[in-house]
Amino acid sequence: MQLLILTSLLPATTTTYLFKIFYQPKHSMKQIAIVVFTLLCLTAAHAQKKGSGVEIGLGIDGGLPVGNDLKPYTTAGIGGDATLGYNFDERAALLVRGGYMTFITKGAYRDLNINAVGDGFIKLVGRYTFPGRFYVEPQIGYSRFTSAKGGSNKIGSNSFTYAAAAGIFLDPLKAFEVSLRYEANTCKNGINFVGVRFAYSLKPGMYF
């Protein structure tokens, strides 16, 4: 519901392209360029509104499997992500976040020569920041779980992904942040996990 409210505040063209990226993970560079250009135009048009504009960021992700079919065969995971989005004001933002995590395997999967399971993901993220530095993020998206080896047992699963995160900004500019999340997947041979994310981002006003 929060994501629908945030999406409704965007111009129709921006919403259309954001959802194209969300539903088509193999998007073209042209689509990315259009989204970036549109967001920059929005920033220029609303520069006078405090806190509004484009946000870009990078994050480091860690995860501990807690469920789904691959949980018994995987240990901790680590990876990274990149974020592009729009801040409507100092409270509400709509973001697109994509990245990749690697989960180390154990047990039977090691015996099958599957040393790691990859989780490539792209998610649509809504963020609401409370007065102060605390924020919450509902997230929905797409994940693909793969393994480089394994022969006939090689992993290749596509999944709808959903997550809930809570975090805190570590500095007055809200550039550095840390968050915890629970992320789950609907596919067979997926990984549900509890994750931690450390990130740095450029917020509106920091690059003008």
Dump the DSSP string for 36-103.
HHHHHHHHHHTTTSTT-EEEEEEEEEEEEEEESTTGGGEEEEEEEEEEEEEESSSSEEEEEEEEEEEE
CA-only gyration radius of the chain, Å? 18
Asked if residue 186 is part of any domain, the answer here is yes
pTM beyond 0.85: the answer is: no
- From residue 101, how far is each of 33, 117, 126, 163, 168 by CA, in Å? 25, 8, 21, 15, 22
Domain that holds residue 91: 2-202
Residue 207: inside a domain, yes or no? no
DSSP-assigned letter for residue 172: T
Residue 132 domain flag: yes
| Structural tokens at position 197 | 């994310």
Chain segment 87-114, per-residue pLDDT in tens: 999 999 999 999 999 999 998 888 888 8
Tally of domains within the chain: 1
Torsional sign, CA 119, 120, 123, 129: positive
Q: pLDDT of the chain along its 208 residues, tens only? A: 433 444 444 454 444 444 444 445 445 566 666 766 666 665 555 544 667 899 999 999 999 999 888 888 899 999 999 999 999 999 999 999 999 999 999 988 888 888 899 999 999 999 999 999 999 999 999 999 998 776 656 788 899 999 999 999 999 989 999 999 999 999 888 899 999 999 999 988 776 5
Instruction: For residue 86, give the amino acid letter.
Output: Y
Instruction: Tell me if 98 is assigned to some domain.
Output: yes
**DSSP state for residue 151 in the 8-state scheme:** G
CA distance 114 to 125: 32
Does 208 map to a domain? no
Report how far residue 11's alpha carbon sits from residue 31's, in angstroms, rounded to the nearest whole number: 16
CATH number at residue 145: 2.40.160.20
